[in-house]
């Protein structure tokens, strides 16, 4: 059992590392493509790069979902902390575990539904790059499953080690 919990914690850490990379690189890509396109609009007679209009639509969902995974891991995504302060001992941990299990289940359902819609949206393609329109839906599907995994990792940590080992939910900036 202990090795299972350790592997879940390692998996959550790997997911967090991956989400950080997604946020950093997709953020850089968004800035580079959008800045280059703005410059090209003023410098080129054609008014910019035609493909640069489609790239933000394809990259932005990954950027956002990477951030959602990081927020879920740090306890800042849809956190409802005030109720935990009103409870004591086992009731507080039980409420935390129940709320996070419901949240993880909801994200798994969302991920599955996003996958189904992505399958349908994949029929259509973007006009210039000819990439499937399912990219955003698949980003949502992947991100939702990753949020569910990191949420379940926190639940297992609280069940194993206690309330004090839950994720910190203080309101502050979190460095990537």
Print burial letters for 153-168: b (CB count within 10 Å at least 16), e (below 16). Answer: bbbbbbeeeeeeebbe
Tell me what pLDDT residue 102 has: 94
pTM: 0.85
Q: Look at residue 137 and tell me whether its pLDDT is greater than 80.
A: yes
More confident residue, 28 or 2: 28
pLDDT tier for residue 172 given thresholds of 50, 70 and 90: low
* Mean pLDDT score, 109-129: 94
| pLDDT exceeds cutoff 80 at 146 | yes
Q: Cα 30 to the chain's mean position, in Å?
A: 17
94-98, 151-155, 171-175 — which is least confidently predicted? Answer: 171-175
What does the pLDDT read at residue 79?
Answer: 62
Range with lowest mean pLDDT among 80-89, 115-124, 130-139: 80-89
Q: What is the mean pLDDT of residues 88-98?
A: 90
Name the range with the highest mean pLDDT among 125-139, 140-154, 159-173: 140-154
pLDDT of 169 over the 80 cut: no
């Amino acid at each position: 059992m202990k090795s299972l919990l350790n592997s879940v914690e390692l998996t959550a850490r790997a997911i967090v590392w991956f989400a950080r990379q997604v946020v950093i690189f997709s953020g850089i890509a968004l800035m580079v493509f959008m800045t280059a396109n703005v410059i090209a609009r003023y410098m080129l007679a054609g008014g910019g790069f035609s493909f640069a209009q489609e790239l933000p639509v394809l990259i932005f969902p990954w950027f956002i979902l990477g951030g959602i995974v990081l927020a879920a891991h740090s306890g800042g995504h849809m956190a409802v902390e005030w109720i935990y302060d009103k409870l004591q001992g086992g009731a507080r941990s039980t409420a935390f575990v129940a709320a996070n299990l419901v949240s993880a289940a909801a994200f798994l359902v969302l991920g599955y539904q996003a996958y189904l819609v992505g399958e349908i949206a994949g029929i259509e393609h973007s006009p210039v790059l000819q990439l499937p329109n399912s990219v955003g839906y698949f980003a949502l599907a992947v991100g939702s499953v990753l949020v569910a995994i990191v949420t379940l990792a926190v639940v297992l940590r609280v069940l194993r080690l206690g309330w004090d080992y839950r994720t910190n939910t203080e309101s502050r900036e979190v460095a990537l």
